[in-house]
Amino acid sequence: MILKNDLLLRAARGEAVERPPVWLMRQAGRILPQYRALRERLSGFKELVETPALAAEVTIQPVDELDVDAAIIFSDILVIPEAMGLPYDMIEKRGPLFPETIRSGSDIDKLVAGEDAAARLSYVYDALELTRKELDGRAPLIGFSGAPWTLLAYMVEGSGSKTFSRAKRMLYQEPALAHQLLGKITQTIIAYLHAKARHGAHLIQLFDSWAGILSPALYREFGAPYLRQICTAITEVPVTVFAKGAWFALEDIARMDCQVVGLDWNISPEEGRSRVGAEKVLQGNLDPCYLYADPEQIQAATQKMLDAFGGRHIANLGHGVYPDTPLDGVRAFVQTVKHYRYK
């Protein structure tokens, strides 16, 4: 099927485009009234994630409502730990919780990995296929995975945390165990992402949401090498690496076999470009809190950001959109990008 809007893919390949494509991390979710309405009728978050028809519906909502240039499959990074043998609960208003966590080498030995784990995620592949069909070429479909370090963080910590000190403790106290776990997670991610590409994802984004809590030395040892392995393995579609908070690792990430590098709002477009170098396409990076401002302010800030990136850019926020963001703010951001033209 031919894409009617392939701007994201042309931009990700580094082609000259008339304007940057625009989408928002976490666009499929609570900012939309139609998402909240659907969600209220269901038993919980996991029912949405695990029912392909519902996941497809929620994935397409922001394309209908906001006219963004990409859809991102409705799912979660935590489906991988679950497929490996560590189920998660999503607690209302609190976030994820793992009843069991990784404590020892024997816990790691028990985990399922690679193709065997990826084979348990057929509901994601079904959701991708259905979404592709229902999108009917209106926008490319992004698939994603958590990065190995971020997934280890949840599997060891057992929940969200400000410090992830239990997970970081493993890196210092038992580095060999951490490497063993990261290796198993990485093999699973690679099998999973090959399957996602096979079932219709046009581009893959890797979310290393907790990269920024590691020191540069820890990230060099436990973060970057595993991301690099994934980038090297996934050759069938473009790959975006978004390592939140890890401005110190951008030079390293720039040398990975990826096409796009995501930036958060802690770094300016100019400094991001100078650290990443000329070759890669950059994605980001407006502060999500800017969308609480007046539409005129949002328009001015967005134009300034687009001018600063200047090209080889995919417009997005510096992290996921917050659930209480006014839709008018989101629309002002998206429409400003859509009316922009490179000189």
Question: Footprint of ligand CP3 on this chain (CB under 6 A)?
Answer: 25-30, 39, 45, 72, 74, 76-78, 90, 95-96, 144, 160, 207, 209, 320
Nearer to ligand CP3, 105 or 230 (CB): 230
Q: What residues have CB less than 8 Å from 170, skipping those under 6 apart?
A: 152, 156, 177, 178
CB of 39 to ligand CP3, least distance (A): 5
Strands of the sheet containing 71-72, edge to edge, are: 71-72, 141-146, 203-208, 239-243, 260-262, 281-286, 313-317
Min separation Cβ 144 and ligand CP3, Å: 5
Minimum CB distance to ligand CP3 smaller for 150 or for 174 = 150
Task: Give the DSSP H/E element, type plus range, for residue 205.
Answer: strand 203-208
- Give the CA distances from residue 70 to residues 23, 53, 113, 343, in Å, rounded to whole numbers and listed in that order: 6, 19, 30, 24
Residue 177 CA: distances (Å) to CA of 114, 167, 171, 214: 18, 11, 8, 17
The DSSP result for 75-120, as a single string, is --TTHHHHHHT---EEETTTEEE-SS---SHHHHHH---HHHHHGG
26 is catalytic: yes
Would you call 255 a catalytic residue per the annotation?
Answer: no
Question: How many whole angstroms separate alpha carbon 71 and alpha carbon 63?
Answer: 6
Catalytic entry in 19, 26, 120, 331:
26
Which one, 160 or 225, has the nearer CB to ligand CP3?
A: 160
Structure-block tokens of residue 244:
């939140």
Nearer to ligand CP3, 207 or 219 (CB): 207
85: left (phi over 0), alpha (psi -120 to 50) or beta: left
CB of 341 to ligand CP3, least distance (A): 27
Query: What distance in Å separates the CA atoms of residue 37 and residue 54, rounded to the nearest whole number?
Result: 12
Least distance (Å) from ligand CP3 to the CB of residue 195? 17
The bridge status of strand 239-243 relative to strand 89-91 is: unpaired
Choose, from 35, 88, 125, 154, the residue flagged as catalytic: 154
Is residue 52 within 8 A of residue 73, CB to CB? The reply is: no
76 is catalytic: yes
Annotated catalytic residue 138: no
Q: How far is the CB of 153 from ligand CP3 (least distance, A)?
A: 9
**If DSSP codes are grouped into helix, strand and coil, which group holds residue 304?**
helix
Residue nearer to ligand CP3 on the CB measure, 262 or 269: 262
Best CA proximity match to 131, nearest among 189, 75, 193, 66: 75
How far apart are CB 95 and ligand CP3 at their closest, in Å? 4
> Which one of the listed residues 6, 35, 69, 76 is annotated catalytic?
76
Q: Which of 245, 269 has the CB closer to ligand CP3?
A: 245
Q: Is 312 a catalytic residue?
A: no
Catalytic residues: 26, 30, 39, 76, 154
